């Protein structure tokens, strides 16, 4: 998360402009509108005030409302790197990756040693599939601040996509060591172990993830597949049904692929989903996920 910024109190964006009387032009004369002098310092203060508004809206996950404020803030305070940083982050959040990267690169040009910008750029490049660029930005940010579990997790994911498994595991383990509630890091170590054929070790890591948070669908489903593969069919089916009751999205193989499940685990998951019991569970969970929520 970017550092919170302290700005001056909000200045009204409305200005009162008094125009002297204007005579109508004769035919062929261009009407030149009166252009008031702009106070650049005042405009910048207005931009910073808007930026503070945008940050507060982001804290309440009101991204659609935050975006136009951040866009105007960047126009009014173009020399302020925080404005471009916030704007770029919002674009990335809304999957406008090219626009987000452009804004974040501009912010980095103004403040090259801000780890938050580098971490966000790394995440954006990862989402775009440009893993070498992601690696470069994440490593640069971690040289400035290596106590950043989310960035270490993103670095682990990047190494995983580059099939540099030892480096990925090391990054995940560092993230988990720094934040003991960060179950996704230890969960993803399990994904790698499974791809390496170390199913028992994968099971250990997924069980550790559930010890952190027992209500997470992903490690439950991964465990279900692993137990099913080992011949513990009933145990696997029970865990699989419990996992999809928590989050039906995990019944979609494409969703699992997006969450970095490897080819071996995906192939075994397809076999698991092909059983009559799980076919019924998947169909039920997907139907439930597709139904609109009714207002209370």
Q: Is 73 left (phi over 0), alpha (psi -120 to 50) or beta?
A: alpha
Q: How many CA atoms lie within 13 A of 220 on its CB side?
A: 20
The 10 Å Cβ neighbour count of residue 212 is: 18
The pair of structure tokens assigned to 253 is 């193989």
Please, are residues 186 and 171 in contact by the beta-carbon 8 Å criterion? no
Domain boundaries, the chain: 181-289
CATH class of the 181-289 domain in this structure:
mainly alpha
Is residue 18 pLDDT above 70, yes or no? Answer: no
Residue by residue, DSSP assigns 3-21 as PPPP-PPPPPS--------
pTM of the model: 0.83
Q: Give phi and psi for 131, each to the nearest 5.
A: -75, -35
pLDDT of residue 37: 52
Residue showing tokens 């910024």: 5
Is residue 115 pLDDT above 70, yes or no? Answer: yes
List, for residues 55-107, the tens digit of each pLDDT value. 999 999 999 999 999 999 999 999 999 999 999 999 999 999 999 999 999 99
The one-character DSSP state at 34 is -
**Reported confidence tier of residue 289, pLDDT bands at 50, 70, 90:** low
The pair of structure tokens assigned to 195 is 């791809």
């Amino acid at each position: 998360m970017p550092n919170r910024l302290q700005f001056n109190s909000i200045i009204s964006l409305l200005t009162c402009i008094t125009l002297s009387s204007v005579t109508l032009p004769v035919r062929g004369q261009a009407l030149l509108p009166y252009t008031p002098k702009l106070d650049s310092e005042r405009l910048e203060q207005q931009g910073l005030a808007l930026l503070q508004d945008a940050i507060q809206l982001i804290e309440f996950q009101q991204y659609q409302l935050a975006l136009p404020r951040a866009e105007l803030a960047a126009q009014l305070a173009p020399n302020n790197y925080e404005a471009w940083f916030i704007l770029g982050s919002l674009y990335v959040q809304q999957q406008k990756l090219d626009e987000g990267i452009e804004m974040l690169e501009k912010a980095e040009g103004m403040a090259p040693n801000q780890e938050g910008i580098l971490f966000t750029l790394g995440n954006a490049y990862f989402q775009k599939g440009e893993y070498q660029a992601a690696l470069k930005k994440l490593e640069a940010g971690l040289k400035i601040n290596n106590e950043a579990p989310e960035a270490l997790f993103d670095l682990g994911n990047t190494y995983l996509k580059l099939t540099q498994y030892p480096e990925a595991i090391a990054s995940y383990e560092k993230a988990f060591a720094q934040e003991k509630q960060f179950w996704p890091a230890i969960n993803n170590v399990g994904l790698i172990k499974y791809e390496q054929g170390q199913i028992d070790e994968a099971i250990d890591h997924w069980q550790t993830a559930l010890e952190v948070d027992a209500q997470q669908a992903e490690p439950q489903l991964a465990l279900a597949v692993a137990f099913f593969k080992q011949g513990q069919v009933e145990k696997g089916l029970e865990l699989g049904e419990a996992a999809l009751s928590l989050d039906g999205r995990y019944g979609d193989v494409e969703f699992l692929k997006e969450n970095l499940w490897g080819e071996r685990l995906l192939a075994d998951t397809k076999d698991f989903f092909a059983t009559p019991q799980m076919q019924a569970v998947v169909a039920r969970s997907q139907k439930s996920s597709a139904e609109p929520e009714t207002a209370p």
